[in-house]
Every structure is written in structure tokens, then in C-alpha cells.
Structure 1
Amino acid sequence: MPSNDDPKERGKAIAFKLRPETVRDLVRRLAADSENVKWSVHALDRMAERGITDKVALEVLRHGETKGEIEPGKNAGEWKVKMVRMVKGRREAGVVVLTVHNARLLVKTVEWEDL
């Protein structure tokens, strides 16, 4: 194992992965206050197209579980995650959201998982 003084190791980025539970809890906490949730134009268009209301999308963010990989966003301090939840007892909805500096959420898209 190289020491911290190894010149070849200086300046290398360290891969960092968040635990799904950590991101899930952050999304749920932030989504509890609707003021923390912003909607992209794309998300609003997809919601209208797919018949998914903001109430349903917020329910997914507030009570859902993570699905798939948690990825770094395009900007520092962002994480991209998909939250999913069974809604109306029959369909699973998915909400792709960015956490921004652990302070707010940006909804990127909303979709039905069973299509």
C-alpha cells in the first residue's frame, strides 16, 4: 500500500460513494418542506404527459426508497438518485432528483416504473 508521501498518489481523486440510506434520508428530510423542492421544465412536462401529479411525486420523495446507482451530479455538491414508491396501491412511480448542497432538491424527471 502506498504511503501518503508517495508522489504518484498526490492529487488523485478518491472515489466516494454515499450509502443509499443516507441519500434516502436526506431526500425525505428535504422533501418534507415543499419549499426545498424545485421542478425542472422537463419534469413538469413529463408529469403532465404521464398523468403524475406533484402530490404523487412529493409522496415518492417523502416516503420512497432509492433505486439504482447514486451518481455525482454535474456540479460539485450534487448527487443524482432515483426514488421509487408504490402509489395508489397499483403502480410504482419513480422520481429522479438531484440533491444540491444537502439543502434543496431539483426534480429532473418523473415516470411510471412499470412501462
Structure 2
Amino acid sequence: MSNPVLFSELRRRLADHLDLVSRIAVDGDGASVLAMARREVPQLVAALRVLVDEHQPDENGQCKRCRSGPIWRRVSSPCRMLINVHLATGAATATTRERTCWRPRRHRAGS
């Protein structure tokens, strides 16, 4: 298998897997969602941490991963990948309370 074919296959498999996880999260029953979340969320968090760790700024504030190329094309920190992940995860709009409150809210019946 050549690199373009291999990369294409890896991207397709990852996209299929993420689609399945999304479908279960949205349409699955409670037990399926819970089982999937316990298995997938730690893996997805770990994957995002790898991406973020690869895009750390160097001593000049340049993203170590994105800094290749001529100096006028170098991206200052935070790089575009970090901003995209930040926006996609909702971290940009989440309040401190939303990030720390992980228990479902309980409602009193009849009120």
C-alpha cells in the first residue's frame, strides 16, 4: 500500500469511527451511550491532548509544529489547529461552571 492509499484508508476508518460514536451519542439508548462514553471519551481526550501537545509554542512564541517554512509564513501561537480544537470542543464558550458540573441536574416532580 502506498502512503496516499494508506493515509486515505486511515482517514476513512477514523471518520467512520467518529460517525459511529456520534450516532450512538445522539440516537443510542441510555445503556449504549453510557458504555460508549466510558470507552470512547478517555480515548478522544487522549487524542486531543496529543494534538495540543504537538502544537506547543517555542521560546519565540511560534508553534513548534507549524513553524516550518519561510519566516513570513510562520504562525504565531496559538496556531490555527489549537484554535480549531478549542472552538470544536466548545471550550471557547463553556463557562467555568459548565466545565466543572458533571452531574445531571435533578428536577423535583410537580414543581
Could you state the TM-score of these two structures normalised by the residue count of structure 2? 0.23
Structure (1 or 2) with the greater strand fraction:
1
Which one has a bigger Cα radius of gyration?
A: 2
| Greater helix proportion | 2
RCO higher in structure (CA 8 A, sep ≥6):
1
| TM-score (normalised: structure 1) | 0.22
